[in-house]
Structure 1
């Protein structure tokens, strides 16, 4: 009787393993063709990601562009290198650059209390006598916390998309000011002393955008256009939907369902709209002195390790590959950032020593699905091809 039960159990386990193998074979592409474009196509064909745009940079020049799929499925509009994507949190490196420009021009000091530049007072209620500095916002140690109940409610997805009608100044005051309608001492701030602990903050980067406005006396989107995008020739890069003129725009998708082109009040933390051509120019500016928008010494300070065990710099990260489970490929010299929001995924990586980099934009968020293994394999191969 025991032998019979054991035999039945063995058959059941074998059947489960066979079924699992079949499912994996159907969902995951294990091919590895030498041709990189074919490799990308094979991997993406196994996913539900509508479109991907890729740029590989070698010696500060774009070595190749690779495009796959659709910017808009219903319209049959295919992705190409000029397709504009909204790139989520990868946007933060541009916001950090704007701050570093003002620092370089001695318009602000990184160690200054942020209240020096704000028309309202901001303190962590758990440490009312401890100043929050600009540097703390840049390296995510400010103690300003993302209250997602508030933040999610202010995305414009459910209201049909478009730019937020709430300015970054209004949001910052109402979220961080003690009398604000979104203020919460418990949910909007951590229990960590300012400057002591890394705690990633989207709201903090929205506040940096507002500080740029206060110091430069112009809207954040206009400051970055005048001082970053135009000097670098980033002609298809904008923050606001109202300013986008190209029809070559990648609609965001959730499992093949098109989402509205949305935004939120803290737009400097994640709504940059750009293509891989333009963003490659931005990455190259980190080491090409003929094309830079910051002095070499400023860039060096910007990329110096600060928090999160030395992985976080002033806006950039040395652990972007770790974050997508590729720690073995991290040689300690690769700066970058990822971005993820509904219908959006992005990654930008750059090695200033080798002057090599890569940019990947997708109009679908990576999810915890079996098909995501294909995206992992794709990014891993591209990182290796870029020789970072």
Structure 2
């Protein structure tokens, strides 16, 4: 027994110093990469966290007591040209775009043009069915809550980003893409990769293509191009003059934030065929106005975009264990490991794409919210902990 103890002691004498050195090294690395200070001034706090994170830039809108309480900007909209981010900087906001697409669809529900559980094929010139469940119709509700069974086929989906061909808007129309991706005989049709194994309506599976399809459906039902429909029925009523889907529609004086990858390499402005799922371009100020309209029964500065009854239906938990509503998510903070930070239940949407990170949430009960648009993608490193602590404090500052 004494011999075993002595052996353990000798082993610990060897391992102990090594382990201690590793702990000190890890602590040193963490200290170098993570800022643990907490300046009282919020703008200073954001500056130190962003600088330590290595992110290029961010625009933050804090909504408090039912109004835009504060806008905080940090960093460069264009690092090469030394153009700073301002209140007027336009960001491409990735999947947060889906909340606007969902709003457009819910307007058609409100007008009685469609019902949530209608078969989408009733309104299409093509027939879209799940090849494994041809007798189960795909409905608007399924597309909105990500249970349609339509998958993304990521290898193909990523290959159609225009960054692979020089950037700009996609030359593939919504109609062309849906026919070639979802109809047998189409050049991108693949019944194994383009559809999940789940029966439509039975399981949550996040679908970018499904939201592109919703945009196409809006076009077919209204006989109006999707960007034009949303301009007339959402952006104009809310007062979003600089909010556009397509690069070609941006105003001549708009400054679109250059997007940077995790290594700070600038990316060309890009798009993809299913743009209603993720290419909305807007400012934090204008998107905050959209959020305020949603939080106030659809009432905006130039009209009403949805009724409170429709919004109530839109916010009902639908799938993903109650986390997914119709276009909105109740797990936006949970996915950032910030569960329990807010005072009440918050709803919102996050987005991530090459050169893009967006976080948007609000508390409908006390009409507070938070919008963050970054023009750089997040790298998985210790430095990202700076952003975690930054968002955590911003949530608390908003009163959510």
Question: How does the TM-score come out when normalised to structure 1?
Answer: 0.97
Q: CA deviation at 1:287?
A: 2.9
Asked if 1:306 corresponds to 2:283, the answer is no
Deviations 1:314-341 (A, max 9, x none): 1001111111111122556311000000
Asked if 1:22 corresponds to 2:22, the answer is no
Match of 2:256 among 249, 255, 268: 249
Q: CA deviation at 1:304?
A: 1.1
Query: What is the match of residue 281 of structure 2?
Result: 273
Cα 1:235–1:198 shift into 2, 3 Å: same
Larger radius of gyration: 2
Count matched residues: 388
Question: How does the TM-score come out when normalised to structure 2?
Answer: 0.95
Does the residue aligned with 1:116 lie in a helix, a strand or coil? helix
**Is the Cα contact below 8 Å between 2:343 and 2:399 reproduced in 1?**
no
**Is the Cα contact below 8 Å between 1:207 and 1:266 reproduced in 2?**
yes
Taking the aligned partners of 2:30 and 2:160, their CA distance within structure 1 comes to 39
Does the residue aligned with 1:349 lie in a helix, a strand or coil? strand
Query: What is the match of residue 309 of structure 2?
Result: 297
**Is the Cα contact below 8 Å between 1:319 and 1:330 reproduced in 2?**
no
Deviations 1:51-83 (A, max 9, x none): 000000012211001110001100001111211
Does the residue aligned with 2:372 lie in a helix, a strand or coil? strand
Taking the aligned partners of 2:181 and 2:203, their CA distance within structure 1 comes to 21
Query: What is the match of residue 319 of structure 1?
Result: 331
Q: CA deviation at 1:157?
A: 1.1
Q: Which runs of 4+ in 1 moved over 3 A?
A: 1-6
Q: CA deviation at 1:247?
A: 3.8
Taking the aligned partners of 2:159 and 2:347, their CA distance within structure 1 comes to 32
Q: CA deviation at 1:4?
A: 5.3
Does the residue aligned with 1:66 lie in a helix, a strand or coil? strand
Match of 1:88 among 88, 94, 104: 94
Deviations 1:192-251 (A, max 9, x none): 111111111000000000000001101101100111001110011000011112342211
Query: What is the match of residue 105 of structure 1?
Result: 111
Mean Cα displacement is larger for which, 204-213 or 178-187?
178-187
Q: CA deviation at 1:13?
A: 1.3
Match of 1:351 among 360, 363, 367: 363
Asked if 1:192 corresponds to 2:192, the answer is no
**Is the Cα contact below 8 Å between 2:342 and 2:399 reproduced in 1?**
no
- Counting only pairs closer than 5 Å after superposition, residues 182-261 of structure 1 correspond to structure 2 as 182-245=188-251, 246-254=253-261, 255-261=263-269
Taking the aligned partners of 1:188 and 1:299, their CA distance within structure 2 comes to 31
Q: CA deviation at 1:368?
A: 1.4
Taking the aligned partners of 1:316 and 1:134, their CA distance within structure 2 comes to 14
Match of 1:329 among 341, 345, 354: 341
Deviations 1:88-144 (A, max 9, x none): 000000000000111111111211101011111111111110000011000001000
Taking the aligned partners of 1:17 and 1:351, their CA distance within structure 2 comes to 41
Taking the aligned partners of 1:169 and 1:200, their CA distance within structure 2 comes to 21
**Is the Cα contact below 8 Å between 2:94 and 2:351 reproduced in 1?**
yes
Query: What is the match of residue 392 of structure 2?
Result: 380
Query: What is the match of residue 143 of structure 1?
Result: 149
Cα 1:330–1:178 shift into 2, 3 Å: farther
User: What is the aligned-residue RMSD (CA, Å)?
Assistant: 1.3
Query: What is the match of residue 3 of structure 2?
Result: none
**Is the Cα contact below 8 Å between 1:87 and 1:346 reproduced in 2?**
yes
Q: CA deviation at 1:374?
A: 0.6
Taking the aligned partners of 2:13 and 2:38, their CA distance within structure 1 comes to 38
Q: CA deviation at 1:17?
A: 1.3
In structure 2, the gaps of 5 or more residues are 1-5
Query: What is the match of residue 126 of structure 1?
Result: 132
Taking the aligned partners of 1:102 and 1:131, their CA distance within structure 2 comes to 19
**Is the Cα contact below 8 Å between 1:287 and 1:296 reproduced in 2?**
no
